[in-house]
Amino acid sequence: MTAVGQVLRLTLMLLRAYSRDFSALFFGFAFPLMFMLIFGALNFGTFRVSLGVADEARNPDSARFIEALRGVSSFQVSTGSSLELQALLEKGDRDLVVLIPQDFRIAPAPAGARVPAITVVESRGAAQEASIGKAVLASLIDQLSFAVTNTQPVVTIQSKVVSAAQLRYVDFLTPGIIGMTIMQIGISSVAFGFVSDKQRGVLRRIMATPISRRRFLAANVLQRVLLAMLQVMILLAVGVFVFGVQVVGSVAALLAVAALGCVTFLCMGFALAGWCTTENQVPPLTQILTLPQLFLSSVFFARDAVPAVVRPIADVLPLTFLNHAMREISTGGATLAQVGGDLVGLSLWTIVGFAAAVKLFRLESS
Amino acid sequence: MTPIITVADLTKRYGEIDAVRGVSFEVEEGEVFGLLGPNGAGKTTTVEILEGLRAPTGGRATVAGVDVVAHPQAVKARIGVQLQASAFPGHYQARELIDLFALFYERKVDAPALLRAVGLEDRAGQRAEKMSGGQRQRLSIAVAMVNEPRVLFLDEPTTGLDPQARRNLWDLIRDIRSRGTTVMLTTHYLDEAELLCDRVAIMDGGRIIALDSPKGLIEGLLAKGFTKPVLQQQANLEDVFLNLTGHELREE
């Protein structure tokens, strides 16, 4: 029997036991699904980008452009002077301000000639809205240029944003619920399972057999990654087929980020399992690790809902990075490179978690 | 004949406490060897060192031809263990637990045959957590036999069992011995040691204070002029209990 064969068979055996564990199934699978269905059905209004437009050209072309912006239903368009709009942006009343220059026109430009440059100012407080707004804006401008130059778009992927047009609450919610579930499965399944097995002497019994610790742990990690990814796909499928959620970016990129998130939270789970000596410690310590992230990491509500005082902390929580990256991909069509900052953040947490797990987690007593 | 277990000057220190202070003995192939002693005598620590579960502080030990100190992992493949106060992973049927442990040894086994050998053939589909104490102990012996071990370590196997279940387990241990497997048994029950063991070592305070066959130990004591203050009864309460309730194993 090869090492891989042993690990895979053990993974299957672990999955079989999991499939009979009613409470694990409830908290790992049914619970997030209920959240998804309830919050998805509540649908807290549509998600809108508040867009300020300062028209300095005041010509038919700029009017046509503004008309096109108003046609995008996820935009709430208001006009005004550049100065007053930027003041509103500072106060957080606008997510994005678009400055249309005096020389604006919608016409083919000869090669090498200066083309009118639209300036976009974004609010730092509403990064989510601003980035979605920019993505929609970019594709709108592309469409206008293609229409003018009578060419076919070279890349069509971005035009999906405009056709999706309306970003609803459930579109915002789905990546958040997925992130929450990854955190729950990663931390709870390891902490609850291993501490109970440690306390009952199960691990001691297994370590009395010749299986290598490495392979035993590999199967346990693989089992949980598979479970979490299965749940991610179930939630995504419910989002897409029940609520009509549109994943703008690549599903593969979304799953890749989800997998990284799994690893991050599994490391934390192993660290926690090593820290706890009795089963009684597991529920409160799990809550201490997960609850703040549940409320501060934009699972259900955008970052604006987080009080400004705790934002510096909220911004560096692992679930914040995970949710932000998945949301950018899912609703804003971002690529993996565009969410690189989040991936770096998640990776740093993974390193911290892994180091803590190596330090704290033991399969056997000395 | 070379002994299957050789222990020489074994010591184990936990911080300030000397749990094992220089233990030496040998176990012959095919015998049932008992390790007796009060709680804290160092029995379990000694056995766990031989099982490759703990590293000794000093001394040497060889089990089934493997140097336990140098290769604790290798010895695990050649022995079977039944640990005190341990449990099986949850949510598995008896048959699946046999297969799961066979996987740990990278073996394929005939699970029904192993269950038949311990009298659990009709419990193959039952979850371990739903079994009675006696059934669970028999299952744990079946699991300990998945790798056809040369030595079987049993740590207090009959603790907490009713008289019928204890007798049933004794028969099983005799049966395992008759098939040539060496058994190393730790127990609190002296009647059990007297009935099952070819030789016993008595430990106290981390040392072996006596080692002989049960008969030899008793004769040695009598030779020192020991007499029981009360005349031995012809029957005891356990005899009454078994006479009334029978030897038949109860299905709890």
Alpha carbons A273 and A358: distance in angstroms, whole number: 11
Digitized pLDDT (tens) for each residue of chain B, 252 residues in all: 689 999 999 999 999 999 999 999 999 999 999 999 888 899 999 999 999 999 999 999 999 999 999 999 999 999 999 998 788 999 999 999 999 999 999 999 999 999 999 999 999 999 999 999 889 999 999 999 999 999 999 999 988 888 888 998 999 999 999 999 999 999 888 889 999 999 999 999 999 999 999 999 989 888 888 887 776 678 888 888 888 888 787 765
Identify the closest residue of chain A to B90 by CA–CA distance: A17
Please tell me the predicted confidence (pLDDT) of residue A280: 92
Cβ atoms within 10 Å, residue A267:
26
For A137-155, how does the pLDDT look when each residue is reduced to its tens digit (9 = 90+)?
887 887 777 777 766 554 4
Mean pLDDT, rounded, for A266-278? 92
B62 domain residue, yes or no? no
Please tell me the predicted confidence (pLDDT) of residue A37: 87
For A74-98, how does the pLDDT look when each residue is reduced to its tens digit (9 = 90+)?
788 888 888 888 888 887 788 888 8
Count of domains for chain B:
1
B236 domain residue, yes or no? yes
User: Is residue A247 within a helix (H) or strand (E), and if so which, with residue range?
Assistant: none
Please tell me the predicted confidence (pLDDT) of residue A254: 96
Range of the domain at B113: 27-43+80-245
B87 domain residue, yes or no? yes
> Is B106 in Cβ contact with A208 (below 8 Å)?
no
A156 DSSP 8-state letter: -
> Is A13 in Cβ contact with B104 (below 8 Å)?
no
B31 domain residue, yes or no? yes
* Domain CATH code at residue B154: 3.40.50.300
Identify the closest residue of chain A to B72 by CA–CA distance: A210
Kindly state the tokens that stand for A23. Answer: 């409470």
Please tell me the predicted confidence (pLDDT) of residue B57: 96
A245 pLDDT more than 70: yes
Binding-face residues of A in 3-62 toward B, CB within 8 A: 6, 9-10, 13, 16-18, 20-21
B4 domain residue, yes or no? no
Select the more confidently predicted residue: A123 or A150: A123
Mean pLDDT of chain A: 86
> Is B106 in Cβ contact with A364 (below 8 Å)?
no
Classified as helix, coil or strand, B127 is: strand
B60 domain residue, yes or no? no
ipTM, two decimals: 0.90
Strands of B17-27's sheet in order across: B17-27, B5-14, B58-63, B66-67
User: Is residue B14 within a helix (H) or strand (E), and if so which, with residue range?
Assistant: strand B5-14
B200 domain residue, yes or no? yes
For A309-318, how does the pLDDT look when each residue is reduced to its tens digit (9 = 90+)?
888 999 999 9
Please tell me the predicted confidence (pLDDT) of residue B243: 83
For chain A, which domains are there?
3-42+168-360 (no CATH), 47-165 (3.40.1710.10)
B150 domain residue, yes or no? yes
